[in-house]
């Protein structure tokens, strides 16, 4: 059978872009459909604009630190409109770069929504096209619980486009998105209240990481309300009034309410049933959330329909940009490059761009003890960075290694403190290669640096 394309990709986010360009480099005829800005969540409303906001939020602290080194800094003020507009311009510039890279790679971009008609047919831009293989890479989207007044809340999509800086923002959610934006907005000068359903933030991360970040956030003036859920939201003359579940908890009044309680795979309207593509349950725990679905795939990102594949957040495996890129390239290598391979989801490093920043790779202490029991050995250090010797601030850095005493292998590395993501990226190479604690000990540290502590812990 003759097809219009060798590969048709639905979704021009990180995974779809990586897969389409790699497949085209092998000589495949490729088209990619995207109804939004090219670049996906990461470029448009995720990693990139968020990290730019993180950078912006650090300046008040730097101005303050400068005085400890003898610098005199005058009155400072944030031009919110300039800040938000500059971020949006950069996002659009990057989106155009991705469009140019598709053109250079020979990938046809179709600026339209695509829907599956059958296993080899896609309806797009008012016409039907066929493809030998189809890749679904449509990502996910933020969701809000179905509770009274939730229409007054915004999500992480809208926070990048606020016309004015919030005086007081309330954030619902204890995951990395809620935690990061709590720190961003506090750094920018807003009053911040974060509401969490549980006792601690960042469920799933190492316990010491959770404790250190939470302590740092509290020290920076973020108010944490724990063991509560939002029951109702209503408008009042002062802004939004949030009634919480705790019997003794007073209502909270703010001018902006950010709902950051979860994201769900973007499977609706894809026509998955038409093509015989199976899904699996993917639910967000908590009141007001329905059960949702993710596309089921095997280790090669192949769906129940053998010629249809899916990568990235729509599969709800590890929802990180580099993972989507890795999955997309592994798919292209396997199907078009004569190099059948899996993308490893083991030992994937990640970071939380909170204040303090954190990064981690490998097993948490709890995971290691569950599997190895008393064979787990922990190396831990906590100190004030040299940088703050003159600022007078009591900022702390925490580093931790999780080691299997039977083999001396380093199973996990965790850090909370300045430049944690930059440092853990290098450490992740060692952990991925199976380095032992002896290997770490034999490595000469760079002095004076915070990173040297990873090779000096005894």
Separation of alpha carbons 308 and 294, rounded Å: 14
| 8 Å CB contact between 10 and 135 | yes
Separation of alpha carbons 235 and 126, rounded Å: 43
Catalytic residue among 58, 168, 414, 447: 447
- The DSSP bridge partners found for residue 404 are 376, 409
Q: Where in the chain is the domain with CATH 3.30.390.30?
A: 356-455
Q: Where in the chain is the domain with CATH 3.50.50.60?
A: 5-140+264-336, 150-261
447 is catalytic: yes
Burial of 144 (0-12, 13-18, 19+ CB in 10 A): middle
5-140+264-336 has which CATH code? 3.50.50.60
Structurally, what CATH architecture does the domain formed by 356-455 represent?
Answer: 2-Layer Sandwich (3.30)
CATH homologous superfamily of 150-261: FAD/NAD(P)-binding domain (3.50.50.60)
Q: What is the pLDDT of residue 283?
A: 66
Separation of alpha carbons 79 and 164, rounded Å: 10
Express each pLDDT in 364-386 by its tens digit.
999 999 999 999 999 999 999 99
Express each pLDDT in 41-54 by its tens digit.
999 999 999 999 99
Q: CA–CA distance from 391 to each of 246, 370, 384, 394, 416 (Å)?
A: 39, 41, 11, 9, 19
DSSP string computed for 214-269: HHHHHHTT-EEE-S--EEEEEEETTEEEEEES-TTPPPEEESEEEE-S-EEE--TT
Nearest to 382 by CA among 390, 393, 391, 394: 394
Residues with pLDDT less than 70, the chain: 283, 285
Express each pLDDT in 386-405 by its tens digit.
999 999 999 999 999 999 99
Express each pLDDT in 113-158 by its tens digit.
999 999 999 999 999 999 999 999 999 999 998 888 999 999 999 9
Query: N- to C-terminal Cα distance for the chain?
Result: 65
Question: Where is 10: in which H helix or E strand?
Answer: strand 5-10
Q: What is the pLDDT of residue 1?
A: 80
Separation of alpha carbons 167 and 115, rounded Å: 43
Q: CA–CA distance from 52 to each of 87, 90, 235 (Å)?
A: 7, 9, 31
């Amino acid at each position: 059978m003759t097809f219009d394309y060798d590969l048709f990709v639905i979704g021009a986010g990180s995974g779809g872009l990586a897969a389409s360009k790699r497949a085209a480099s092998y000589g495949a005829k490729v088209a990619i459909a995207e109804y939004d800005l090219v670049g996906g969540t990461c470029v448009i409303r995720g990693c990139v604009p968020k990290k730019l906001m993180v950078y912006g939020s650090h300046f008040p602290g730097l101005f303050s630190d400068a005085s400890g080194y003898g610098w005199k800094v005058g009155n400072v003020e944030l031009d919110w409109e300039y800040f938000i507009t500059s971020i949006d311009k950069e996002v659009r510039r990057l989106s155009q770069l991705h469009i140019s890279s598709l053109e250079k790679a020979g990938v046809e971009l179709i600026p339209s929504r695509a829907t599956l008609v059958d296993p080899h047919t896609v309806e797009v831009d008012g016409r039907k096209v066929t493809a030998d293989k189809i890749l679904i890479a449509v990502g996910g989207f933020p969701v809000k619980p179905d509770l009274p007044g939730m229409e007054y809340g915004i999500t992480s999509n809208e926070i990048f486009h606020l016309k004015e800086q919030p005086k007081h923002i309330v954030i619902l959610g204890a995951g990395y998105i809620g935690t990061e934006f709590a720190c961003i907005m506090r750094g920018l000068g807003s009053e911040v209240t974060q509401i969490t359903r549980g006792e601690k933030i960042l469920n799933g991360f190492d316990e010491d990481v959770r404790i250190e970040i939470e302590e740092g956030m509290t020290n920076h003036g973020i108010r944490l309300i724990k063991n509560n859920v939002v029951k109702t939201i209503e408008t009042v003359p002062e802004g939004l009034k949030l009634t919480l579940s705790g019997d003794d908890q007073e209502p909270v009044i703010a001018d902006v309410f950010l709902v950051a309680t979860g994201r769900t795979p973007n499977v609706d309207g894809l026509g998955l049933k038409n093509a015989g593509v199976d899904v699996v349950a993917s639910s967000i725990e908590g009141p007001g959330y329905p059960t949702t679905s993710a596309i089921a795939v095997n280790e090669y990102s192949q769906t129940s329909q053998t010629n249809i594949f899916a990568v990235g957040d729509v599969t709800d495996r590890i929802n990180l940009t580099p993972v989507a890129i890795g999955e997309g390239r592994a798919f292209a290598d396997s199907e078009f490059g004569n190099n059948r391979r899996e993308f490893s989801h083991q030992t994937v490093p990640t970071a939380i761009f909170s204040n303090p920043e954190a990064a981690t790779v490998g097993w948490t202490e709890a995971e290691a003890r569950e599997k190895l029991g008393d064979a787990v050995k922990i190396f831990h250090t906590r100190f004030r960075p040299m940088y703050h010797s003159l600022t007078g601030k009591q900022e702390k850095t925490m580093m931790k290694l999780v080691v299997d005493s039977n083999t001396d292998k380093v199973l996990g590395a965790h850090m909370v403190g300045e430049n944690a993501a930059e440092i853990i990226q290098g450490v992740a190479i060692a952990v991925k290669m199976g380095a032992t604690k002896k290997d770490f000990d034999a490595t000469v540290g760079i002095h004076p640096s915070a990173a040297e502590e990873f090779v000096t812990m005894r």
